[in-house]
Amino acid sequence: MELSAVARDSREKLLPLYRTYGFGAIAFSTTGRGFLTGKFLKEKKFEPGDIRNMDPLFQRESFQSGLRVAERLAKVGRNYGKTPAQVAIAWVLSQQGIICALTGPSTIAHLEENIGGSGWPLSSEDIEDLELFFKQEDVWLERERRSSIRHILSKPLAQEPSKAFVDLVYAIETATLLGLTSEKEVLPIFQELYGMRKALAEEAVPKLETIRNRLRDVTHIENGEVL
């Protein structure tokens, strides 16, 4: 399951299953696709073709919250002499039911750093403080995500097709996370949208509008308000 300090949903949706069925859970993307390494600032730039250019985690309020989470982990790490990435991995390993935290190092130095995320515990005080921090972030995120969905689905799409595409991807994932639509309902819409990613010219705008209208139909939104 995907699990990191910036992608915490599986703690409620998947981790409880281990208590019922007695299996161990393997976490992936434990540093939030590099978000929690501490290398991202307020401005983000990725190479063309990098999936993170459209990844909802790196858009809008999700990106803003992620920056605060990364900063908080860096602050905790200074008390242990650990890097933000090592704290991120240690936090994942502290979750009950997690037996392994997968990482994707690209160099030996990254591998050695990631290994340093295991073999030591976060204190109970730090874990409790992080939990309180995450609860505050969750309240803020839900409010702001609902606002973004309302805007994307009710206001004119961005004039630039690539920006409209990213906004619709964000609306699809975020609406699903918030339970405003179901994966079954939204998957065909996402598949059609994702198939357009390499052909986003001006002539794609009407089709993007059609996809936006379909998304409205399967999302609990009425008179411009997210329910």
* Torsion over CA: 184, 204, 207, 177 (sign): positive
pLDDT digits (tens, 9 = 90+) for 3-60: 999 999 999 989 888 888 988 999 999 999 989 988 877 767 777 778 888 899 999 9
Distance of CA 152 to the CA centre of its chain: 18
Q: What does the alpha-carbon distance between residue 227 and residue 179 come to, in Å, rounded to a whole number?
A: 10
Give the type of residue at 131: E
* Torsion over CA: 130, 136, 139, 145 (sign): negative
Residue 51 is predicted with a pLDDT of 84
The mean of the pLDDT values for the chain is 91
Distance of CA 14 to the CA centre of its chain: 16
Q: What does the alpha-carbon distance between residue 25 and residue 42 come to, in Å, rounded to a whole number?
A: 33
* Structural tokens at position 169: 């991807």
User: How much of the chain, in percent, has pLDDT values that exceed 90?
Assistant: 74
Q: What does the alpha-carbon distance between residue 154 and residue 104 come to, in Å, rounded to a whole number?
A: 39
Residues in a beta bridge with 25: 98
How many residues belong to the chain?
A: 227
Alpha helices in the chain (DSSP H): 10-13, 16-21, 60-80, 84-93, 108-115, 124-154, 161-177, 183-194, 205-218
Q: What does the alpha-carbon distance between residue 185 and residue 176 come to, in Å, rounded to a whole number?
A: 10
pLDDT digits (tens, 9 = 90+) for 98-143: 999 999 898 999 999 999 999 999 999 999 999 999 999 999 999 9
pLDDT digits (tens, 9 = 90+) for 126-135: 999 999 999 9
Residues in a beta bridge with 101: 27
